[in-house]
């Protein structure tokens, strides 16, 4: 079984880290989630240790870490008197927007300045409600800017031959 795990490690490490970056903005955190999944496969004799199992476990560990980071940011904000108003979004939506914002930075200059401002604030971890209040726009406008950013990121990836 160890040979199968070693082969999965060599073939899948980079892809798994990339997938976990959708939840975690820091490369180190994404790598830690993948590494922990491989360690779990090696330590647990009853685990199948195949690629699907490792992919599932590393994704769950990344999601757990993202939840922990989100809760920590909210606690810090609450303690510092900057309590965030709950805008009804869960952590996966927040992290998906943040990941899209970070991806879009590569072709950033092609976007309108207002969209660039929105993406910068979202990439810094602000919620759509906070960004709307900061820029004096509606939440719907912020969502439109995020949609434009996602569309631009997709198009950039297709042009680069990735998507």
Instruction: Classify residue 79 as exposed, middle or buried by CB count within 10 Å of its CB (0-12, 13-18, 19+).
Output: exposed
What is the model's pTM?
Answer: 0.48
- If one counts every other C-beta atom within 10 angstroms of the C-beta of residue 162, the result is 8
The class of domain 91-159 in CATH terms is mainly alpha
Q: What is the pLDDT along the chain (163 residues), one digit of tens a residue?
A: 678 778 888 888 888 888 888 777 788 888 998 888 888 888 877 777 677 888 888 888 888 888 888 777 777 777 776 555 555 555 555 655 565 555 555 566 778 888 888 888 888 788 888 889 989 999 999 999 988 888 887 777 666 555 4
Closest Cα partner for 96 from 25, 158, 160? 25
Q: What does the DSSP 8-state code read for residue 48?
A: -
Q: Which residue has the tokens 């490792």?
A: 54
List the domain boundaries for the chain: 2-79, 91-159
């Amino acid at each position: 079984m160890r040979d199968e795990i070693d082969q999965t490690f060599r073939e899948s490490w980079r892809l798994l880290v990339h997938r976990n970056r959708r939840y975690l903005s820091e490369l180190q955190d994404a790598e830690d989630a993948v590494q922990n999944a491989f360690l779990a496969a090696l330590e647990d004799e009853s685990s199948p240790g195949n690629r699907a199992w490792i992919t599932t476990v590393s994704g769950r560990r990344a999601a757990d870490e993202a939840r922990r980071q989100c809760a920590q940011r909210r606690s810090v904000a609450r303690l510092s008197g900057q309590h965030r108003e709950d805008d009804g979004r869960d952590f996966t939506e927040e992290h998906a927007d943040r990941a899209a914002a970070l991806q879009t930075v590569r072709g950033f200059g092609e976007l309108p300045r207002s969209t660039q401002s929105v993406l910068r604030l979202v990439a810094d971890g602000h919620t759509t409600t906070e960004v709307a209040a900061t820029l004096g726009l509606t939440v719907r406008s912020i969502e439109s800017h995020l949609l434009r950013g996602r569309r631009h990121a997709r198009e950039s990836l297709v042009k680069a031959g990735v998507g």
